[in-house]
Structures are given as C-alpha cells and as structure tokens.
Amino acid sequence: MEINFDVLPAIETNIHRLQREIDELSLISENPAPVVTRILFSEADLRARDFVKRLCREAGLAIREDAIGNIFACWDGADKKLPPVATGSHIDAIPNAGKYDGVVGVLGGIEAIRSLKESGFRPKRSIELIVFTSEEPTRFGIGCLGSRLMSGVLRWNKAAKLSDLNGKTLEYWRRHAECKGSLSSVRLAKNSYSAFVELHIEQGPILERERIAVGIVEKIAAPATLRVVLTGVGGHAGATLMPGRRDALLAGAEIALAVETAATGSGSADTVGTTGLFKIEPGAVNSVPYKALLEIDVRDTDRETRDAVLGQIEKAAGKICDRRKIGLKMLRLNADPPAVCSPALVDMALETCQAQNISGRKMISRAYHDTLFMARLCPTTMILIPCRKGYSHRPDEYSSPAQIEKGVCVLAGMLAMAAG
C-alpha cells in the first residue's frame, strides 16, 4: 500500500513480512497454538523479548532497557536534542489469549519504522519504539506496570513491594529477567516525548460493524481492580453439617453477584464489572473452602460512576461477610482516572487517514493500554483497527492482514508527520 503526502516520500509497508513475524511470535507461548500465554518474565516472555529485540536490531534501531524491562528501540533523528516521537505497545499476554493484542502495536510499530526507512524518509526528531513491561496485570495484579512507573503514577518504592500470588517479589523477577539499575530510574520527566501513538486492535465490535478501517482514540476508559481475600472455616464436606458453615467460596460467589448487580445498576451503559479471578483453598471436592481470593475489574468512561460502583461493591462485600462470619480483606489495587488524548494528534490522525484514503472515526477505548499512562507524559492518541466480532483476550482473536496493513500505514504516516 502506498501513502502519498505532499511533503513525504511514498511509503510502502510489507504486510507479508509483518504477518510472518506476528505468526512466529505467536508460537513463543506457554501453551500450544492457537493459545498465546506470555506472563511477565516467564520463559516465553523472555524469549519473546529476545525475538523483538532481534527484529529491532535488524531494523537498525539502537536498543536500551530500563530497570523494569521496558525496551526502547531508537531511530536517531537529525536533531537529537528534540524530544523523540514514540510508538509501541506490549507483548505479554494473559492466559489463554490470542496473537494480536499488543503485538500489532509492537511488530506493527517496527514495520512502520522499517517502511519509513525504506522509503528514504529521514526524521528530524528521533522515533522510538517502546515495548512496555507487563501491560497485562496477570503477574502482579496491576496492569501497565512499565508505563505506570515511567509516568510516576506508581512510585518506585511502592512497586518494590509488589509480589505475585506465589509470594515471589518484583525484585526476584527483575533479577530473573536480568533487569539492571534501580527502579527509581524508570520514571521519565514530563515531555520526554513530543508525542506517543499506540497502534492496537479495537478489542470491541464497533469498527467491524461500521466497516471503518481505523478508530482514533479520544479517551480511554477508567479501570480499577479490587483484590478480595476471604477467610472462612474449612472442614470435611460430609461431616460438617450445613448450619453454621463458614464457606469462603459462597461468600465470594455472593460478592461476584454483587459486582454484576452494581455494574448493571449503575445507570450507565458504559459500566462493566468482572470477577475475573476466583481461587479457592484447599480446592478439593470433599472439603469446605476455607479461603477464597477474588480479583474484580471495574471500568467506566466516567470516573465518578466507576468509583460509585466500587463503593457499592465494597459495601456489599462487608455485609455479605458479616452475615456469613467470613474474614474480609479488600484492597484497591488500582483505580485510575480516564485518559484524554490530544485533540491535535487526533486531528492529525484523521488527516493522515484522509490523505491515505483510509476510513477513520473518533472513538473511546474501553480497554486500557499503556497510552493511559503515556498521556501523563506527553500528547497521545491511539490507532485502533477492527478485530473479528470484537473478540479479544481469547485465542480466536483475529485481524486480517489487510486490516493490520491499514493501521500500520496510518501509524507510519503519523510518525512521519510528528517527527518532521
């Protein structure tokens, strides 16, 4: 596909090369294809990082990594004193995921840079690809770990206290991944970048339904996560009679239903609430569950509505546990505000679409992304592409090569315009 701007050379992206790389990366997984699972700093995640770094080196980019493992791959501009333009996304994947979430923004970002290079374009500002550490919350319960630290929203001394559900600390995992330097060095100054643009699959059905090639993000919905630990009393499933049982699972089940009630009754069609993690101990069919761990995801485009729902869930959990005589520990792992993207970048993206004859519309991202935190550092927007039936976070997630190609073309055009 050709992009022709008055001021820019024609840019030709190589979708076959990119699709091959997407397919190859998808095979680096903790589970057999078509499932993609790459939990932060697992062997699969580390091999995937090596794969991406090799592609960056082959593209002539200079690589550095920070103390949390964020990877920066830089194409030097003519004026290195100017803050660079950045793009990027993530390659970690939740359990039982597909091969496009995050990956399209990382490998598509490399392809956009390669095609700009091959077109003869020489940027004034440097262009940097960022591969963010742990956009997914699987390891530590908190998403966007890399960009959260970069933006300063998560302080390094708080991050240092993170540990996973097996009690392994962030420090343990940093050593395992051979991350160098102190966590305090991850934070970046405001305006370290002149702009950040992330390419991603939509993860919803709107673009496909409306047959629009590209969504330009104006706002990212506000996510929050609750962790709930319930302590009951275990016992023999046959010999412990029903009266007086203190079953932690049953309290958890009522809390999960309260999440549904609060989210559906918020008065906003935008509120979503999900109990995505529910673990019990000891996990034996003939034993009353004495412990339950739940993680609850609540989002809305409006922060106040989201917070009211969080409050309602917390209140309901208190009442349920009082009635059932269950010990309750409840923690807000994160409760982030929504991000507002830069109107100037949104306009630039729409102009780029127009110049390339690619249909585009403004939209809201209901999924969160590292852009949520990059928006604290510099002007941002996102380029979303359709995915089949809006499926995401499942192995049958799919965007066609033609759909990906259009997203990469818009990204390449944006990078060229923003880098000058």
Does 218 participate in binding ligand GLV (rule CB under 6 A)?
A: no
Tell me how far apart the alpha carbons of residues 385 and 270 are, in angstroms, rounded to a whole number. 21
Q: Residue 143 CB, nearest distance to ligand GLV (Å)?
A: 6
> How many residues make contact with ligand GLV (CB under 6 A)?
4
Partnered with residue 392 across adjacent β-strands are none
Residue nearest to ligand GLV (CB): 367
User: In the complex with Mn ion, which residue's Cβ is closer, 290 or 368?
Assistant: 368
Among 98, 102, 108, 338, contact with Mn ion (rule: CB under 5 A):
102
Burial of 58 (0-12, 13-18, 19+ CB in 10 A): exposed
Q: Based on the shown chain and the rule CB under 6 A, indicate whether residue 159 belongs to the binding site for ligand GLV.
A: no
- Say if CB 64 and CB 110 are below 8 A apart: no
Least Å distance, CB 130 to ligand GLV, is: 16
CA pair distance 356, 368, nearest whole angstrom = 27
Is 101 an interacting residue with respect to Mn ion (CB under 5 A)?
yes
Phi/psi region, residue 368 (left: phi>0; alpha: psi -120 to 50; beta: rest), is beta
Residue number, 45 or 247, with CB nearest to ligand GLV? 45
Closest among 136, 198, 154, 145 to 174, alpha carbons compared:
145
Q: Which residue is nearest to Mn ion (CB)?
A: 102
By beta-carbon proximity to ligand GLV, the closer residue of 240 and 274 is 274
Per residue in 39-55, is it b (16+ CB within 10 Å) or e — as a string? bbbbebbbebbebbbeb
Judged by CB under 6 A, the residue of 21, 66, 111, 136 near ligand GLV is: 136
H-helix or E-strand spanning residue 348: helix 343-355
* Residues 225-264 contacting ligand GLV, CB under 6 A: none
CA 354 to CA 344: how far, in whole Å?
15
Q: Which of 183, 220, 367, 419 binds ligand GLV (CB under 6 A)?
A: 367
H-helix or E-strand containing 43?
Answer: helix 43-58
Residues 415 and 394: their CA atoms lie apart, in Å, by: 30
Given a contact cutoff of 8 angstroms between Cβ atoms, the answer to whether 140 and 164 are in contact is yes
Q: Which amino acid is at 299?
A: R
Number of residues that bind Mn ion (CB under 5 A): 2
Q: Which stretch binds Mn ion (CB under 5 A): 100-108, 231-239, 267-275, 290-298?
A: 100-108
Q: Do the strands 291-300 and 272-281 form a parallel or antiparallel pair, or are they unpaired?
A: antiparallel
Q: Considering only 101-109, 263-271, 302-310, 353-361, which stretch makes contact with Mn ion by CB under 5 A?
A: 101-109
Using the rule CB under 6 A, is 368 a contact of ligand GLV?
Answer: yes
Question: Interface with Mn ion by CB under 5 A: which range of 45-53, 65-73, 99-107, 377-385?
Answer: 99-107
408 contacts: CB under 8 Å, gap ≥ 6 = 13, 15, 18, 108, 111, 112, 115, 199
- In the bound state with ligand GLV, the residue whose beta carbon lies nearer, of 121 and 132, is 132
Binding-site partner at residue 45 among Mn ion, ligand GLV, none, CB < 5 to 8 Å by type = none
* Part of the chain binding Mn ion (CB under 5 A), chosen from 43-51, 93-101, 145-153, 309-317: 93-101
Rounded to a whole number of angstroms, the minimum distance from the CB of residue 237 to ligand GLV is 36
Output the six-digit token pair for 127. 């262009």
Tell me if 45 contacts ligand GLV by CB under 6 A: no
Site residues, Mn ion (CB under 5 A) = 101-102
Contact positions toward ligand GLV, by CB under 6 A? 136, 143, 367-368
